[in-house]
Structure 1
Amino acid sequence: MTTVVTPGSTGAYVKLAKLDIVDYYLGVLVVWALLAPASRLDPGVLATLGVFLVGEVFVIVAMVALDDLTGYRDGSDAANYAPDAPARKLNRKPLVAGTLTEPQVLRFALVTAAVGAAVWLGALAVAPHRPLWAVALVAVTYFFALQYSWGVKLSYRGFQEFFLAALGWALVLAPYGLATGDLDGVVVVQALLFGLGPLLFGVYSNTNDVEGDRRVGRPTVAALTTPRGNRLFVRAVSVCEFLLVLALPLVGGPWWFPLALLPTVVLRLRQLRVGFGRGDILRARRIGIDVHRVTVVTLVVVNLVVR
């Protein structure tokens, strides 16, 4: 049954915020599990991670609201969520569905962006450590999150795929730095793994949206290449993920880490088969979301055991 969303209602703003897509927010769980046991219940560390997560939610909500506004204005969302695309839920795009207006969306984005900035400043204020690289990473992440589809429009200049991964990397590395003041190889490799998760369902969305993106000049890999070239790119990113799994024991992780991540590898192969073997791109995207969440659970469990 399709839920009816009243124009201008709280439900319309919830749809705009995409709060059901929690995948970037899960990075804080990975960070917490990576901490030394004595730090996991430290009040200052917990406060830092909690405040950072709240700010992260507001920043990402602002980012996706601005993305929807740009997609509505250039017509790509109308094309990608057209009536002949029944697998896409139209009410997830309130502007296209007519449940919010452009001024309402812009105000919402500006307010959530301002709140996100204030909350992240609060996280910096309460953090036990403030290494320059972590503070700079927070600032850079904030700036470029809002420029994803607005301002300089990174996703319209050929940086979309890199950004999807880099955002995930930053949302692990920055809070870990604020909590500990340090980094090691295990943290870096797990951050890289975490960031590839959102990318490896984002590229399937791009594959589905290729015609709409081409129409408005949004240069995703899928839009710039042939179907074969796009398929090779997705396979290459999937191989990179597998190589990172193999690399973790080399940087100080347990020797059995690749065995623990075997479900991730198997599900990733299934995603490729469903998406490019059977041609069911949106189902493959859904599998990608599941793969990312399975990976996060595995990372958390492994870290709690060995850190």
Structure 2
Amino acid sequence: MTTTVAPGSTGAYVKLAKLDIVDYYLGVLVVWALLAPALRLDGGVLATMGVFLVGEVFVIVAMVALDDLTGYRDGSDIANYAPDAPARKLNRKPLVAGTLTEPQVLRFGLITAVVGAAVWLGALAIAPHRPMWTLVLVAVTYFFALQYSWGVKLSYHGFQEFFLAALGWALVIAPYGLVTGGVDGVVVVQALIFGLGPLLFGVYSNTNDVAGDRRVGRPTVAALTSPRGNMLFVAGVSACELLLILALPLVGGPWWFPLALLPTILLRARQLRVGFGEGDILRARRIGIDVHRVTVVTLVVVNLVVR
């Protein structure tokens, strides 16, 4: 497979950064809509959320760059993006495509990590509220984002699926706490729903990448279990999302919230059918991305109406 990205070019770094995958960044919209109307246009609140988002982008870019470096070094990316995998876009992996070198990727990952830390410190400095739990949550999120598949290699020790969800949870709860000083049940449940979105397309990627992950000993659920066991796990996570949607009215959300999230429920069922009924895992992954974005739009609309 050929690539149109020039070696060492800005385009190669853009591909490395995966800036088109915005799904974690959408959490800031959910946070903004969850705020009381008086806070939505408050200068200090908007500044804090904006700076936090910029730092978030740098931290996640560092995370995915270091993940690519590790995946290239252990051979899993070469296996998963091999020429016999035409559905995968090779130029999304600049090391495999040969458009960036290992030193370039490592340097880029470390620089963006440092910038991300500095920007997040700036967000903490200007935040209207700084309860200790938010400071700890931001620090823990930063540490484990960089250690996801580099350093201690969290995802190589059986924690990958939990991390994919927990990152989304933190990226809603932390900025909300910084601008309001606390959280309530509605915020927590919506953060949990939000975090399951990236997980529920990540597990389909893992299903597609099972051979390469097994080869390098990366213990995803898909790699550790049988195809049926993996299917049951994905179905179980999907069911957890449904239970959270049904539970929101019990913690203070509107009674009609599950009806508003009906598109999410139906699309999630379709994702399962396409992925495991029809066996089209990569199309199911694409559906998962769409489901997450539909969910975010719905959460924002519901919160603007209710709060």
Is 2:144 aligned against 1:129? no
Amino acid at match of 1:62: A
Deviation at 1:54, TM superposition (A): 0.1
Matches of 1:287 and 1:52, distance apart in 2: 28
Q: How does 1:236-275 map to 2 (within 5 A)?
A: 236-275=236-275
Is 2:66 aligned against 1:66? yes
Deviation at 1:31, TM superposition (A): 0.2
Matches of 1:300 and 1:3, distance apart in 2: 38
C-alpha distance after superposition, 1:191-226 (max 9, x if no partner): 000000000000000000000000000000000000
Amino acid at match of 2:113: A
Amino acid at match of 1:237: V
Q: 2:79 corresponds to which residue? A: 79
Matches of 1:26 and 1:40, distance apart in 2: 16
- 4+ residue runs of structure 1 moved beyond 2 angstroms? none
Matches of 2:107 and 2:38, distance apart in 1: 43
Q: 1:153 corresponds to which residue? A: 153
Q: 1:183 corresponds to which residue? A: 183
Matches of 1:3 and 1:27, distance apart in 2: 32
Amino acid at match of 1:87: A
- Structure 2 gaps of 5+ residues are none
Deviation at 1:3, TM superposition (A): 6.1
The alignment's TM-score, normalised by the length of structure 1, stands at 0.99
Matches of 2:228 and 2:296, distance apart in 1: 30
Matches of 2:267 and 2:3, distance apart in 1: 31
C-alpha distance after superposition, 1:112-169 (max 9, x if no partner): 0000000000000000000100111000000000000001100000000000000000
Q: Is the contact between residue 3 and residue 97 of structure 2 (CA under 8 Å) also seen in structure 1? A: no
The alignment's TM-score, normalised by the length of structure 2, stands at 0.99
Q: Is the contact between residue 3 and residue 90 of structure 2 (CA under 8 Å) also seen in structure 1? A: no
Deviation at 1:236, TM superposition (A): 0.2
Deviation at 1:53, TM superposition (A): 0.1
Deviation at 1:44, TM superposition (A): 0.2
Amino acid at match of 1:128: P
Is 2:96 aligned against 1:96? yes
SS of 1:219's equivalent in the other structure is: coil
C-alpha distance after superposition, 1:28-75 (max 9, x if no partner): 000000000000000000000000000000000000000000000000
Matches of 1:189 and 1:109, distance apart in 2: 32
Amino acid at match of 2:156: Y
Amino acid at match of 2:85: A
SS of 1:23's equivalent in the other structure is: coil
Matches of 1:98 and 1:225, distance apart in 2: 33
Q: 1:306 corresponds to which residue? A: 306
RMSD: 0.9
Matches of 2:77 and 2:128, distance apart in 1: 43
Q: 1:277 corresponds to which residue? A: 277
Amino acid at match of 1:113: A
Amino acid at match of 2:110: L
Matches of 2:241 and 2:133, distance apart in 1: 25
Q: 1:144 corresponds to which residue? A: 144
Matches of 1:147 and 1:217, distance apart in 2: 17
Q: 1:25 corresponds to which residue? A: 25
